[in-house]
Amino acid sequence: EEQLVQSGAEVKMSGESLRISCKGSGYSFSNYWIGWVRQMSGKGLEWVGIIYPGDSETRYSPSFQGQVTISADKSTSTAYLQWSSLKASDTAMYYCARLFPRATGYMDVWGKGTTVTVSS
Amino acid sequence: EIVLTQSPGTLSLSPGERATLSCRASQSVTSSYLAWYQQKPGQAPRLLIYGASSRATGIPDRFSGSGSGTDFTLTISRLEPEDFAVYYCQQYGSSPRTFGQGTKLEIK
């Protein structure tokens, strides 16, 4: 079964760093793009960016460029989303999803999400 | 950036009725790269439709998608109790990928 398993909920203070993860299984992780999506409480879905684990090519939404870093380790089939200095406005649910069949692909397999809470 | 506008914001219908959800793009969507997702409270989104009109694996045939260019529609032919949720459209042909703001389908 193809699945993405995300790391657990995080509670952090403003200014701290954080890395959350998304581990794929049941398919060739290196060969499909992974995307990250933000959902603030009670709000809609926002595109953060995508990464190709095979060569770590990364593309960001202009709204998130410079605010987060997306990375991947193909040896462990894991993608990451990280912040160097969290803000209260980063509080949200973050989903990872597989893009099928390429970068211009729809999101067919989703993780359950990681809740990030940042206190000021 | 392509802006997707969904209407209505909230749709109140009864089980058994037909639901029609609209997604309008600010510019033409490349190659009909338009998807629809369903999200229930406390759950991740689920892919329903891709390529504007192709049903994803395991999606019942009461769900159908249509449209091209800038106007797209998701139709649920006969609402089941489990269909009441929030629905999002997304274009994935242009960068940045963008989502509509969502349509909440609620029980009347």
pLDDT of residue B31: 83
Tell whether the model's pLDDT for residue A77 goes beyond 90.
yes
Note the pLDDT tens digit of each residue in B57-91: 999 999 999 999 999 999 999 999 999 999 999 99
- Provide the pLDDT for residue A43: 97
B96 touches chain A (CB under 8 A): yes
Task: Give the pLDDT of residue B96.
Answer: 92
Confidence (pLDDT) at A31 = 96
- Tens digit of each residue's pLDDT (9 = 90 or more) over B9-51: 999 999 999 999 999 999 999 888 999 999 999 999 999 999 9
The tokens describing A94, both together, are 């973050």
pLDDT of residue A23: 98
Residue A117 in contact with partner chain B when CB distance is under 8 A: no
pLDDT of residue A104 exceeding 90, the answer is: no
A99: number of Cβ within 10 Å: 21
Q: What is the mean pLDDT of residues A53-77?
A: 96
Q: Tell whether the torsion through CA atoms of A21, B104, B98 and B18 is positive or negative.
A: positive
CA separation for the pair B85, B106 (Å, rounded): 7
How far is C-alpha A79 from the chain's CA centre? Answer: 7
B9 touches chain A (CB under 8 A): no
Our CA-based measurement puts residue B46 at a distance from the nearest CA of chain A, in whole angstroms, of 7
